[in-house]
Amino acid sequence: MNNEQQAMRHSLAHIMAQAVQHLWPQAKFGVGPAIEQGFYYDIDLGDVTISEADFGKIEKEMRRIIARDLPFTRRDVPVDEAIAWAKETDQPYKVELLNDLKRSGTTIAKELSGEALGSAAEGESKVKTVSLYSQGDYTDLCRGGHVESTGKVGAFKLLRVAGAYWRGDETRPQMQRLYGVAFATQAELDSYLQMREEAKKRDHRKLGKELDLYTMSPLVGVGLPLFTPRGTILRDKAAQLSNQLREKYGFAKVWTPHITKKDLYETSGHWAKFGDELFLVTSQETSDKMALKPMNCPHHTQIFASQPRSYRDMPVRYLETTTDYRDEKTGELGGLSRVRSLTQDDSHVF
């Protein structure tokens, strides 16, 4: 996505938010970035639920805003003034983001781990000013960039709405994430929509059911696929092909257990970085803290370290096609694209 596409799609996110605010004045907004092929905005409408039946009137209001050709204007204001604006306009999610900016200089939740997200910032501010962008009667906290005016955006279409936890945290409010796509011309948009319709016919979730390849069970758990006999044949063939390709280049097959002591990940550094994403395991026989393995690199290092090596032995190449486990957030799971139990054809060279 180039800078022009980024600016156009980001501007459309703001135009969509403005349209939603016109239709539902109680709307409270989270974040609304440009993404590949389009844009989205996280919106809290209280008890109101947006459905595809609402897309037509939202798009109509967006086109009305676009036809007015409203200029995008930027104001740099002191952070405390921006916090006062967000409180005055009843935008609590913006207040939280601004408090994080003031206290820590960032709104990236992962970089604020362990801190009270959105809590009132005391003491000296990490940022002095923030930028607010306005078009007509709509103002938003935003660093930019944008097109010159609302009339300078291309062709667009709203695609879907999905649930999204605020800042990706399942303990926080669930918002409605409204997605759209946008291109410079109507021809490009039409081509994309046609390609998308064709892709739906080949969606692995559709084919998986029609061809009886895999299934999911609520008793097993979300994100934990079960392969049928037909699906297992394909899975085994794929693993066999992957192994053959690597063995051809001197990789030797190894095997590692699916559970591991916490100590290994503390030594490798994975615990500090990914500890929150691990499935923890307890034992009635030992006090060791353990986890289901989310990756294989630390385990392969232990095989390599198990005996002395000469430089003449190098390189040492290992391969393993195995199951790993990651405690992915429920809202991010989908089909076989994002799961909690995944097969990885992993390789390491020493």
Give tens-digit pLDDT for 213-239.
999 999 999 999 999 999 999 999 999
Supply the pLDDT for residue 222: 93
SS (H, E, C) the chain: CCHHHHHHHHHHHHHHHHHHHHHCCCCEECCCCEECCEEEEEEECCCCCCCHHHHHHHHHHHHHHHHCCCECEEEEEEHHHHHHHHHHCCCHHHHHHHHHHHHHCCCCHHHHCCCCCCCCCCCCCCCCEEEEEEECCEEEECCCCCCCEHHHCCEEEEEEEEEEEHHHCCCCCEEEEEEEEEECCHHHHHHHHHHHHHHHHCCHHHHHHHCCCEECCCCCCCCCCEECHHHHHHHHHHHHHHHHHHHCCCCEECCCCCEEEHHHHHHHCHHHHHHHHCCEECCCCCCCCEEECCCCHHHHHHHHCCCCCCHHHCCCEEEEEEEEECCCCHHHCECCCECCEEEEEEEEEC
Query: Considering the chain, what is the average pLDDT of its residues?
Result: 92
pLDDT tier at 122 (50, 70, 90 boundaries)? low
Distance CA 197, CA 195 (A): 5
> In this structure, are residues 160 and 179 in contact, taking their beta carbons and an 8 Å threshold?
yes
Supply the pLDDT for residue 191: 95
pLDDT tier at 115 (50, 70, 90 boundaries)? low
Question: Within 13 Å of residue 279, how many CA atoms lie on the same side as its CB?
Answer: 14
**pTM score:** 0.71
Cis peptide before 229 (omega within 30 of 0): no
Structure tokens given for 21: 């605010």
175 burial (CB, 10 Å; 0-12 / 13-18 / 19+) is buried
Taking residue 88's Cβ as centre, other Cβ atoms within 10 Å add up to 8
Give tens-digit pLDDT for 313-346.
999 999 999 999 999 888 788 899 999 999 999 9
Distance CA 243, CA 249 (A): 10
Supply the pLDDT for residue 170: 80
β-pair type (317-325, 252-253): parallel
Average pLDDT for 75-81: 94
Domains and CATH numbers, the chain: 3-201 (3.30.980.10), 225-349 (3.30.930.10)
17-21, 115-119, 288-292: the lowest-pLDDT one: 115-119
In the chain, % of residues over pLDDT 70: 95
